[in-house]
Structures are given as structure tokens and as C-alpha cells.
């Protein structure tokens, strides 16, 4: 459900063909009101459905935060684990397509501090497929970040119907011996390109992709840092580089 997800197929084409395949009972166009969309989705989840919400720009999730935080994320705590709220919010995040200041933000630094929600940040199409399938099956609110700058990328994905990637499990994208770089989402592609470039200078960089920010695969990151001298994080944020000494 979301704005233009039905007949139009989504502003970025992410739901093309779904209306024709599943019909208006399952693919629902909504008014331009993120607050109403989020509230409706959370209500539907409480009654037993598993809504998938398309948020055209991550910037607009701020309008939906009251419903997400106060009516959704807290349910598990307020009812002793007895009330599940399985909603997946697919949010088009970040810059790179000329959408200006109010349509280009990446707000995971806010969202990762809200108890009761999970935040997923895939960096390629195959990971996105496996993680999205797991997010939909999760019993919590999941913010699923989709970097707009990666929408035009064509990559091979698994066609196995049983292909899932568990939330909370990262992956070593490149083995290395000198430095650990932790990156995700859109920045991951750039990091891998940079790692290939510095390899010609004899610098061996290990790249860790957490894939999900909440829950975070701390063990994978810590084990990588332990064996190397230092580490850094590269993120699509205002302050993009954080250096950590061992």
C-alpha cells in the first residue's frame, strides 16, 4: 500500500505489475498522507495482516513517526510480547538523483534509536531480495531502506524460492589484512570500488557489510576489527567517516 503503487506501479517502478497480478484487494493506492498510511498499516497488522508500505521518499517517514513510534513500535512492550505489529516500510532513501534537500535524506541515524523497530540497509539487489523476504515475515516493524541511486542497477539475483537472508547477519564482502571498513547501502558500492583501487598500492582492506543496522551483527564487526589494526565506518550521512583505533 502507498501512493501510486497500484495502476501507476510506484514512483520508482518498484510495484510494476503487482496490481494486475494481485488486484485492488492486495495492492492499494492511498491518499497523499503518510500519517494515514502508517496508521492504517499498523491497524491492519494488529488485526492479523502483514502490510508492506511504500514510502516514496524517506524524508516523509517523519510525518508517519507518531503512528510508527506510539502506535506500533511500543506494542510489543506494552502487551508483554502478546501483540505483534508486522509492518514493512519500504523507504526510498538517500541522494543521487537530483531530488533536492527535502527528498534526499537518509534518516537511519534517527530510526535506529527507536526501540521496537528493525532497520535494514541492503547494498545490492540480491541482498535486498533475501532481506525483504525476511523483513515481511518478521513480527516487528521493519524500516527497509532502498537507496534511490541503486534503483537503476541491474544485477543477478537468486531465483531460489527458498532464498532468504536473516536479519541481523552481516557479511564480509571483501577479505583483507590491513584495515576494516564497515559500510552499507549506497556507500558499499563506492567502498568496494575504492578498495579495488588501493589494492594496487598494496593496501589490503576488509569490507564488512552489516546489511541490517538493527539488529546489528556486532560479533562479525568486532571479530574483523580484532584481527586488524584499525577500522572505519563509511555511511551516507552528513558525517560520513568515523575512525576507530583498535
Catalytic residues: 34, 103
Task: Tell me how far apart the alpha carbons of residues 18 and 90 are, in angstroms, rounded to a whole number.
Answer: 15
Burial state string for 54-82 with b = 16 or more CB within 10 A and e = fewer than 16: bbbbbbbbeebbebbbeebbbbbeeeeee
Task: Please give the C-alpha separations between residue 142 and each of 43, 119, 132, in angstroms, as whole numbers.
Answer: 15, 6, 9
Q: What is the per-residue DSSP string for the chain? A: -BTT-STT--TTSTTTTHHHHH-TTTS-B--S-HHHHHHHHHHHHHTT---EEEESSGGGGGGGHHIIIIIIITHHHHTTT------EEEEEES-SSS--GGG----HHHHTTSTTEEEE--SSHHHHHHHHHHHHHSSSEEEEEEEGGGTT--------TT----TT--EEEE--SSEEEEE-HHHHHHHHHHHHHHHTTT--EEEEE-SEEETT-HHHHHHHHHHSSEEEEE-SSSS-EEEEE-
Amino acid at each position: 500500500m502507498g501512493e501510486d503503487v497500484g495502476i501507476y506501479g510506484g514512483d520508482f517502478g518498484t510495484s510494476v505489475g503487482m496490481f494486475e497480478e494481485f488486484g485492488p484487494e492486495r495492492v492499494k493506492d492511498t491518499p497523499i498522507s503518510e500519517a494515514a498510511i502508517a496508521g492504517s498499516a499498523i491497524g491492519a497488522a494488529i488485526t492479523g495482516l502483514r502490510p508492506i508500505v511504500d514510502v516514496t521518499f524517506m524524508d516523509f517517514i517523519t510525518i508517519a513517526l507518531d503512528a510508527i513510534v506510539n502506535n506500533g513500535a511500543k506494542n510489543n512492550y506494552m502487551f508483554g510480547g502478546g501483540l505483534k505489529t508486522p509492518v514493512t516500510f519500504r523507504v526510498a532513501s538517500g541522494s543521487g538523483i537530483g531530488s533536492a534537500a527535502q527528498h534526499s535524506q537518509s534518516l537511519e541515524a534517527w530510526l535506529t534509536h527507536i526501540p521496537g523497530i528493525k532497520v535494514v540497509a541492503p547494498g545490492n539487489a540480491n541482498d535486498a531480495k533475501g532481506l525483504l523476504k525476511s523483513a515481511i515475515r518478521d513480527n516487528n516493524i521493519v524500516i527497509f531502506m532502498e537507496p534511490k541511486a541503486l534503483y537503476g542497477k541491474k544485477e543477478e539475483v537468486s531465483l531460489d524460492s527458498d532464498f532468504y537472508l536473516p536479519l541481523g547477519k552481516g557479511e564480509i564482502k571483501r577479505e583483507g589484512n590491513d584495515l576494516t571498513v564497515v559500510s552499507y547501502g549506497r556507500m558499499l558500492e563506492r567502498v568496494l570500488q575504492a578498495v579495488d583501487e588501493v589494492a594496487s598500492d598494496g593496501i589490503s582492506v576488509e569490507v564488512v557489510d552489516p546489511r541490517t543496522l538493527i539488529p546489528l551483527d556486532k560479533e562479525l564487526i568486532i571479530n574483523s576489527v580484532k584481527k586488524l589494526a584499525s577500522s572505519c565506518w563509511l555511511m551516507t550521512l552528513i558525517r560520513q567517516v568515523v575512525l576507530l583505533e583498535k
